[in-house]
Chains A and B, each alone.
Chain A
């Protein structure tokens, strides 16, 4: 990820540069993600209504609540994967031409990995599809401690290793907003600490995190959004 890469990307496509390299925007100013009285309907049933939140650069928001309160739906809504039935969702200071989903990473319950491809091929594909092709995936694999398994088909990984590989996607491709749905599930203590470090690093470099969780995920200064308490 040398400067030369960025320069080439700029020369090639100025818009792509802004989308892909969200971290460089921290000098441009603050970003703010606002949700205003959001309503979610799924399968003809209202999941939640009147959910509002506001999140600035460098802040984390923990979404908590009982099962079925709509934590995952809220995350998918921000990602652009669930229709907004009411209310508004806006991002200030981001790329005006890109949707919020295009500036966000979504780490859902599913790992988005192909068992037939190797660890490196899986990550390499997402890095190429989501970001500039010259991205080096090695640092991302190191960050989740999967580099020794790079040539192993992903089908042989354990649940925790699969989770770590899908976290590597967030590290490999810089995007400003991280939407994490139960990020610590299946992770052991060491991996949880490592994830907390990655999240802290993301926040200090000007990112935002929205995480749906039942327990602590190791972020000290996170704000909390309680759902399902009507």
Chain B
């Protein structure tokens, strides 16, 4: 347990320091959301209607941004070799890295989402539900992306491959995330069912992600 904690702290420290990717995603998210009203025009009703979808799309793209460095840096400087030789199972190592990645890249997105929601004229009362869907759904994005990050290291291809691999797999998360947020804002469909499925997607990715990523890394040995 101390080993995993040490790994999480190291990854978070690296992300916070200069050159780390912690705030890059949040700033990208900010820029994307701020540009939308300029592109669409100041139609408040339209913005309110598509607000949740824009926030979700922004979160999805922003969380992809730093993902390709998740294993690539450790691979390039030889750390990955040593990580794989530890008595800690590789699945747990990989999961600890994913948790650290979520805390440094996705959690800031969730925190600034209400502020950006204001720019898109999202109803204040519905903001809590919207943040809740992001909080429940972004872990799924990280843990699905984990598989792509491991594969792109194993196959020695960079960022674009990652996007091509990961984005199709995140479609269900996007559908149910936006559905739950819209249910809370406009109704009439209930908030519960899509939100529960969103939670289920996150939980399933907790289980599948680390195992698939560890298998990909082991397979990519050589």
Q: Which residues of A contact B (CB under 8 A)?
A: 16, 19-20, 42-43, 76, 79-83, 98, 101-102, 104, 106, 108-114, 116-117, 121, 125-126, 128-130, 133, 169
A81 CA / B86 CA spacing, docked (Å):
12
Judge whether A110 and B77 touch: CB under 8 Å: yes
Q: Bound state CA distance, A112 and B221, in angstroms?
A: 17
**Please, how many angstroms separate the alpha-carbon atoms of A82 and B81 in the complex?**
10
A129 and B83 within 8 A (CB): yes
Smallest CB gap from B6: residue in A? A128
Whole-angstrom distance between the alpha carbons of A9 and B176 in the complex?
A: 47
**Contact of B81 with A83 in the complex, beta carbons under 8 Å:** no
**Cβ-closest chain B residue relative to A179:** B85
A108 touches B87 (CB 8 A): no
Pair A81/B84 contact, Cβ less than 8 Å: yes
Taking the closest CB of chain B, its distance from the CB of A110, in whole angstroms, is 3
Separation of A200 and B156 alpha carbons in the complex (Å): 39
**Chain B interface residues toward A at CB < 8 A:** 2-3, 6-7, 10, 13-14, 17-20, 76-79, 81-88, 221-222
Q: Contact check, B77 vs A116: say whether CB atoms are below 8 A apart.
A: no
- The reply to whether A82 and B222 contact each other, CB–CB distance below 8 Å, is yes
**Measured between C-beta atoms, what is the minimum distance from A165 to chain B in Å?**
12
Nearest CB of B to A77, in Å = 10
26 A-B pairs with C-beta separation under 8 A = A20-B87, A43-B222, A81-B81, A81-B85, A83-B221, A102-B85, A102-B86, A111-B77, A112-B77, A112-B81, A113-B77, A114-B10, A114-B77, A114-B79, A116-B14, A116-B20, A117-B13, A121-B10, A121-B13, A128-B6, A129-B7, A129-B86, A130-B3, A130-B86, A130-B87, A133-B6
Residue in contact with A110 in the complex, picked from B17, B18, B78, B84, CB distance below 8 Å: B78
What's the nearest-Cβ distance from chain B to residue A118, in Å? Answer: 10
User: A117 and B10: CB pair below 8 A?
Assistant: yes
Number of A-B contacts (CB under 8 A): 81
Residue contact B78 to A79, C-beta cutoff 8 Å = no
With known contacts A83-B222, A102-B87, A129-B6, A117–B77 Cβ distance under 8 A: no
In the complex, are the beta carbons of B3 and A109 less than 8 A apart? no
Q: Which residues of B contact A129 (CB under 8 A)?
A: 3, 6-7, 83, 86, 88
Q: What separation, in Å, do the CA atoms of A76 and B85 have in the docked complex? A: 11
Using Cβ atoms and an 8 Å threshold, which residues of chain B touch A113?
Answer: 77, 79
A108 and B79 CA atoms in complex are apart in Å by 10
List the 7 closest A-B pairs by CB distance, nearest first: A110-B78, A128-B6, A133-B2, A112-B78, A101-B85, A116-B17, A112-B79
CB distance from B81 to the nearest CB of A (A): 6
Q: Would B87 and A19 count as touching, CB distance under 8 A? A: yes
Q: B2: which A residues are within 8 A, CB to CB?
A: 128, 133
Do residues B84 and A116 form an inter-chain contact, with CB atoms below 8 A?
Answer: no
With a cutoff of 8 Å between Cβ atoms, the chain A residues found around residue B76 in the complex are: 110
> Which residues of B lie under 8 Å from residue A128 when comparing CB positions?
2-3, 6
Q: How far is the CA of A116 from the CA of B13 in the complex (A)?
A: 9
B177 nearest CB across to chain A (Å)? 33
Chain B residues whose CB sits within 8 angstroms of the CB of A130 once the complex forms: 3, 82, 86-87
Which one of B7, B10, B82 has the greatest number of beta carbons of chain A within 10 Å? B82
- Tell me how far the C-beta of A8 lies from the nearest C-beta in chain B, rounded to whole angstroms: 12
Whole-angstrom CA separation of A113 from B83 in the bound complex:
12
Q: Known contacts A121-B13, A125-B6; is A81 also within 8 Å of B221 by CB? A: yes
Q: A83-B221, A83-B222, A133-B6 are in contact. Are A126 and B82 (CB under 8 A)?
A: yes
Q: How far is the CB of B40 from chain A (nearest CB, A)?
A: 40
Give, as a whole number of angstroms, the nearest-CB distance from A33 to chain B. 15
Q: Distance in Å from the Cβ of A80 to the closest Cβ of chain B? A: 7
Chain A nearest CB from B194 CB (Å) reads: 40
Q: Report the minimum CB–CB distance from B16 to chain A (whole Å).
A: 9
